[in-house]
Amino acid sequence: MARFRYRMQNILELDEKLEEQQKASFSLANARLQEEQQILQQLMLKKASYEQRVKSYATGTVDIKEIHRCKEGVRVTDIQIREQMIEIRKAQRLVDVERTKLNAAMLERKTQEKLKEKAFDAFRAEMAAEETKVTDELISYKYGTAAQ
C-alpha cells in the first residue's frame, strides 16, 4: 500500500519552527512589559511613601529640612514615573509588534496544515479510487472467466 508523503513537509516544519521562535520572542517582550509595569508600581509606592512622610512631618513636630527633602523625593519620583511610563509604552509597542508577527506565523502554519490536510484527503480519494478499480477488475475477471 502506498504511503502518504506531503511534498511541502519541509516548509510546514519550517513554519512550525518560525512560530515557536515568534512565541519565544513574544514571551520575552511580554516579560519585559511585566517588569516595566512592576517598576512603575514600585515607583508609585515610593511616591506614596514620600507623600505620607510629608504629611507626618507637617502634623507632628515640624521638621522643615525633612519636609523639603521628602517633597524633593516626590518631585524626583514624579519624573521617574513619567520616564517609566515612556518605557512601558515602548514595551507595549514591542509586545504589539511581536503579537502581530506571532499571528502571521500562526496563520502561515495553519495554512500549510490545511494544504497538508487537503493533500491527504486527495491521496485518500485516489487510493479509494484505485482500490475500487482493482476490485472492479477482479470482479470482471472472475465473472468473465466463470461465464466461459
For position 147, what pLDDT does the model report?
59
For position 112, what pLDDT does the model report?
96
Q: pLDDT, tens digit, for every residue of 34-67?
A: 999 999 999 999 999 999 988 887 787 777 888 8
Q: Average the pLDDT over 5-33 and give the result.
A: 95
Distance separating alpha carbons of residues 10 and 12, to the nearest angstrom: 5
Could you tell me the domains of the chain? 11-116 (1.10.287)
Distance separating alpha carbons of residues 73 and 67, to the nearest angstrom: 10
pTM, two decimals, is 0.75
Q: pLDDT, tens digit, for every residue of 93-136?
A: 999 999 999 999 999 999 999 999 999 999 999 999 999 998 88
